[in-house]
């Protein structure tokens, strides 16, 4: 992940910085907006990994919900789990059975804040499943999910853990360098022992987000109930997602009515991923106050999310709120120290906020993780500080 060329570029709010942040702003758009035709099934995959890893090819399936194609994890004879942002407010979805054919599955409401929902093959399912065991480690993480290129379930290359979720937050997630592609939402995150670690949810092109087993167990205990709030929230998720997609067509500021519709439904959705995308969308529209507001909500739900924190740091830089930006970047550097964009923003924020302590800290990390950019960063900071 280290930058192999001279990556430190002095600050230019209109050109350089925008180019530096586009990867996080654009690739971080929703993984669940997929419009494609399936070209194969989950079966028939060859696997050269350990058996405990390969067995997961039969435990993950494809889920189709309207125009969304995603993944789901098999939990028991008649139950699967996927993301709420996949099912939205649909009462039924399609899941691929072992014979490669799609069958109907019923959405089972729950009152948990996380982006998880159970799917039952029988209407009004009363099946009760045991709590899932906690994983023994978070080493050698892999995702098993729908792969667009292969048209079926695949095992993705291994990645590394970045940060743990905070225990007391229902929407906090496991963050890793596991690969992200369209369609992985609802898939399995497993460890080196083949244990289920979490359910994939979203992320940027660089960083993955998965909902931990603890939250899944809470959903299992709170499901099998029918609540109007669940369907209302699902409707808000769908409308929020639709408006976010429609805003891509606008080259100028959209109508106020459309922005109000977005705000109303994204607020009701109360979904960490949608808060991220809404914040990024408002940022691309130049509405940085709204961008910061939504990204701060996302960070409040999941304080150790690289995707959210990087997006928030970008928005704060455009808003020229450098002292706040330093606070965000300082926290981010606790668990993400080799990202070229994060390091460059840290150098710039230190200079513009006149924070020499943070400048020296950022320089030290830059020297360690991206030595090619270090000399230029020193020259840049000498315009603001006496570094001797």
CATH number reported for the structural domain that contains residue 85 in this entry: 2.40.10.120
Do both 338 and 350 map to the same domain?
yes
Q: Are residues 287 and 191 in the same domain?
A: no
- Report yes or no on 313 lying in a domain: yes
The token duo for 326 is 């330093």
Instruction: Clarify whether residues 150 and 55 are in a common domain.
Output: yes
- Separation of first and last alpha carbons in the chain: 30
Residue 22 has a pLDDT of 31
Q: 221 in a domain, yes or no?
A: yes
- Is the separation of the CB atoms in 353 and 386 below 8 Å? no
pLDDT value at residue 45? 54
Q: How confident is the model at residue 3 (pLDDT cuts 50, 70, 90)?
A: very low
Residue 332 C-beta-side C-alpha neighbours within 13 Å: 29
Q: If you average pLDDT over residues 70-81, what whole number do you get?
A: 94
Domain end position, chosen among 207, 226, 245? 226
Q: Which CATH number do you get for residue 285? A: 1.25.40.10
Cα separation, 173 vs 138, whole angstroms: 13
Last residue of a domain, one of 189, 208, 226: 226
Position 7 in a domain? no
Based on the fold, state whether residues 316 and 188 are members of the same structural domain: no
- Ramachandran quadrant class, 377 (left: phi over 0; alpha: psi -120 to 50; beta: rest): alpha
Query: Does 323 lie in the same domain as 211?
Result: no
Q: Is residue 321 part of a domain?
A: yes
Grouping H, G, I as helix, E, B as strand and the rest as coil, residue 80 is strand
Tell me: pLDDT of 173 over 90.
Answer: yes
Query: What pLDDT sits at residue 343?
Result: 97
Instruction: Decide: 183 and 70 in contact? Cβ < 8 Å.
Output: yes
Q: How far is CA 45 from CA 137, 190, 195, in A?
A: 27, 18, 20
Between CA 119 and CA 102 the distance in angstroms is 14
Q: Are 208 and 174 part of one and the same domain?
A: yes
Residue 210 has pLDDT above 80, yes or no: yes
Residues 127 and 158 in one domain: yes
Please give, one letter per residue, the 3-state secondary structure of 251-306.
Answer: CCCCCHHHHHHHHHHHHHHCCHHHHHHHHHHHHHCCCHHHHHHHHHHHHHHCCCCH
Distance (Å, whole) CA 87 – CA 91: 8
Do 26 and 87 lie in one domain? The reply is no
- C-alpha 206: how far from chain center: 10
Both 106 and 203 in one domain: the answer is yes
Give the phi and the psi of residue 142 in degrees, each rounded to 5: -135, 155
Q: Is the confidence at residue 123, as pLDDT, over 90?
A: no
User: Residue 335 in contact with residue 161, Cβ under 8 Å?
Assistant: no
Task: Give me the mean pLDDT over the 353-371 stretch.
Answer: 96
**CA nearest to 40, candidates 134, 156, 145, 150:** 150
Residue-number span of the structural domain to which 365 is assigned: 16-30+271-381
How confident is the model at residue 227, as a pLDDT? 84
Kindly state whether residues 136 and 90 are assigned to the same domain.
Answer: yes
How far apart (Å, rounded) are the C-alpha atoms in residues 179 and 141?
10
Q: Choose the final residue of a domain: 191, 226, 261.
A: 226
The shares of helix, strand and coil residues in the chain, as percent rounded to the nearest 5, are 40, 15, 45
- What separation in angstroms does the CA of 198 have from each of 52, 207, 371? 16, 15, 36
Lowest-confidence range among 4-18, 94-108, 230-244, 287-301? 4-18
Among candidates 304, 240, 309, 313, which has minimal Cα distance to 278? 240
Q: How much is the pLDDT for 181?
A: 84
Going by C-beta distance under 8 Å and a sequence separation of 6 or more, which residues neighbour residue 11? 17, 348, 351, 352
Q: Which of 16, 4, 8, 94 is nearest to 318 (CA)?
A: 16
Q: How many domains does the chain divide into?
A: 2
Distance CA 81, CA 60 (A): 10
Residues 60, 165, single domain; the answer is yes
- What DSSP assignment string belongs to 129-157? -PPPPPPS---SBEEEEEETTTTEEEEPP
The pLDDT confidence band at residue 49, using thresholds 50, 70 and 90, is: confident
Alpha-carbon distance of 324 to 150, in angstroms, equals: 43
Same-domain check for residues 275 and 297: yes
Rounded to whole angstroms, how far apart are CA atoms 236 and 231? 9
pTM to 2 decimal places: 0.85
């Amino acid at each position: 992940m280290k930058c192999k060329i001279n990556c430190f570029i002095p600050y230019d709010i209109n050109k350089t910085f925008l180019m530096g942040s586009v990867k996080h702003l654009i690739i971080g758009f929703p993984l669940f907006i997929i419009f494609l035709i399936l070209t194969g099934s989950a079966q028939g995959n060859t696997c050269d990994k350990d058996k405990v890893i390969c067995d997961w090819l039969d435990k993950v399936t494809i889920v189709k919900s309207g125009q969304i194609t995603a993944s789901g994890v098999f939990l028991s004879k008649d139950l699967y789990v996927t993301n709420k942002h996949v099912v939205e407010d649909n009462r039924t979805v399609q899941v691929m059975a072992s014979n490669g054919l799609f069958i109907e599955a019923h959405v089972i409401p729950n009152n948990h804040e996380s982006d998880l929902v159970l799917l039952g093959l029988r209407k009004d399912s009363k099946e009760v499943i045991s709590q899932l065991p906690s994983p023994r480690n978070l080493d050698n993480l892999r995702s098993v999910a729908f792969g667009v290129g292969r048209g079926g379930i695949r095992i993705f290359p291994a990645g590394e853990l970045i940060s743990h979720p905070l225990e007391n937050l229902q929407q906090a997630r496991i963050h890793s360098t596991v690969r992200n592609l369209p369609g992985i939402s609802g898939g399995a995150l497993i460890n080196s022992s083949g244990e289920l670690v979490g359910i994939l949810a979203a992320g940027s092109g660089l960083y993955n987000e998965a909902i931990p087993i603890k939250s899944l167990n809470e959903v299992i205990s709170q499901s099998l109930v029918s609540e109007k709030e669940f369907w209302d929230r699902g409707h808000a998720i769908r409308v929020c997602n639709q408006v976010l997609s429609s805003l891509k067509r606008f080259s100028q500021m959209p109508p106020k009515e459309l922005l109000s519709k977005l705000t109303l439904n994204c607020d009701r959705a109360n979904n960490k991923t949608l808060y991220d995308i809404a914040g990024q969308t408002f940022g691309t529209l130049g509405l940085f106050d709204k961008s910061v507001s939504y990204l701060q909500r996302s960070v409040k739900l999941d304080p150790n999310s690289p995707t959210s924190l990087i997006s928030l740091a970008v928005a704060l830089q455009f808003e020229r709120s450098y002292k706040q930006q330093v606070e965000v970047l300082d926290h981010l550097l606790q668990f993400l120290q080799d990202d070229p964009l994060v390091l460059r923003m840290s150098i710039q924020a230190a200079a513009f906020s006149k924070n020499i302590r943070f400048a020296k800290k950022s320089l030290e990390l830059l020297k360690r993780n991206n030595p090619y950019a270090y000399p230029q960063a020193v020259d840049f900071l000498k315009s603001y500080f006496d570094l001797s």
